[in-house]
Amino acid sequence: MARMNEYPVELTPPDIAPYKDGNTGIDYATTFDSGRPGPHVMVNALTHGNELCGAIVLDFLFRENVRPTRGRLTLSFANTRAFLKFDARYPLLSRFVDEDFNRLWSPDVLDGPRQSDELERARTLRPLVDTVDCLLDIHSMQTRVPALILAGPLAKGRELAAGVGYPQYVVSDEGHAAGKRMRDYAAFGDPASDRNALLVECGQHWDKASVTAAMETTLRFLRHLDVIDRDFAAAHTAGPPPKQQFIEVTQAVTIKNGNFQFIENYVGMEVIERAGTVIAHDGDTEIRTPHDNCVLIMPSRRNVPGQTAVRLGRFIKN
């Protein structure tokens, strides 16, 4: 398997300087108001500074003067300080400045005493996120595997993913022990609330195909919510996608030791036939599949204690 820094950088970071001032009082966040009743929908890019596909799609939406047909549409670039440090010669180094922006979205962290570059940005964006009815957070992955939606653990997330209809794989998961994601923040993770969110992983970070997946997902998401011109969306999306397959995460493997190692170079979406199969060692502890036909989801090469090594799942009917 190619290591992350062995994948060629096929993408050029867009110039986001024209979008810095915006109109929300928050740098790199712009809200368009249709003047008609409807939801407040947010499309967010650059949660991680080295994940370029979302920024390219937002740049496209700005340049095409896409406006909501009802409700409000916010386009947001999140971790811009990390992104502005992106260097194609060292593409791994701009994921974040101080810490992972997507592990900070719980009240105890946001309201707590800690300080970091990412926390400062999350606290700045939080009042805007608090007004959002439906969020799409655009990401990419370490390895070249098919795009997938992370829909969270609730039925409402899976239903939204099914309504969008893309990409093919939908993963229902609880997130990470290391901290809460933006897609799980507040009412997004409340089964009693209509507010909802999806996180899309669009393929390998710097692969051209990640832009295609990000564009398809974003336009289908906005079309499903009926907040953009349907003809425009249809003109910039492909034909009917493959039938979706839903995966329930049954276990998230959190690294406990500094010498965690997979036994093979897994890239993701491998299906391990037999329960009890050893897939990794965490120090002296064997990591085994908990059930037959176990799907390996996003195995990580950032083997840091406290972080997620891999999510283990099984295919389910939605």
| Tens-place pLDDT, residues 66-121 | 999 999 999 999 999 999 999 999 999 999 999 999 999 999 999 999 999 999 99
Mean pLDDT of the chain: 96
pLDDT digits (tens, 9 = 90+) for 164-211: 999 999 999 999 989 999 999 999 999 999 999 999 999 999 999 999
Q: State the pLDDT at residue 301.
A: 83
Split at pLDDT 50, 70, 90, the class of 141 is: very high
Going by C-alpha positions, the residue among 277, 43, 246 that lies closest to residue 159 is 246
Handedness of CA 65, 70, 72, 78 (dihedral sign): negative
Q: Judge if 15 and 58 occupy the same domain.
A: yes
Rounded distance between C-alpha atoms, residue 79 and residue 94, angstroms:
10
Residue 315 has pLDDT above 80, yes or no: yes
Residues 153 and 174 placed together within one structural domain of the fold: yes
Q: How far apart are CA 198 and CA 256, in angstroms?
A: 28
In this structure, are 217 and 307 located in the same domain? Answer: no
Does residue 121 sit in the same domain as residue 86? yes
- Is the alpha carbon torsion for 140, 254, 113, 187 positive or negative? positive
Same-domain check for residues 122 and 165: yes
Which of 187, 208, 243 finishes a domain? 243
Q: Which of 211, 227, 243 is the last residue of a domain?
A: 243
The verdict on 120 and 258 lying in the same domain is no
Listed residue (143, 141, 205) closest to 9, CA to CA: 205
Cα(58)–Cα(75) distance, rounded to whole angstroms?
7
Domain encompassing residue 214: 4-243
Q: Is the pLDDT of residue 1 over 50?
A: no
Check: CB of residue 197 under 8 Å from CB of residue 152.
Answer: yes
CA-wise closest residue to 81 among 117, 123, 127? 117
* 226 and 148, same domain (yes or no): yes
Instruction: Using alpha carbons, select from 79, 70, 62 the residue that is nearest to residue 138.
Output: 79
137 and 267 fall within a common domain: no
Q: Within this chain, do residues 14 and 139 fall inside the same structural domain, yes or no? A: yes
Q: Binning pLDDT at 50, 70 and 90, where does residue 302 land?
A: confident
Residue 4 DSSP symbol: G
- What pLDDT, on the 0 to 100 scale, is given for residue 303? 82
Residues 238, 108, single domain; the answer is yes
pLDDT, position 4: 46
Tell whether 238 and 268 lie within a shared domain.
no
For residue 313, what are the contacts with CB-CB under 8 A and spacing of at least 6? Answer: 171, 173, 247, 248, 249, 250, 294, 295, 297
| Total domains in the fold of the chain | 2
Query: Residue 302's domain is classified under what CATH number?
Result: 2.40.50.630
Q: Are residues 171 and 282 in the same domain?
A: no
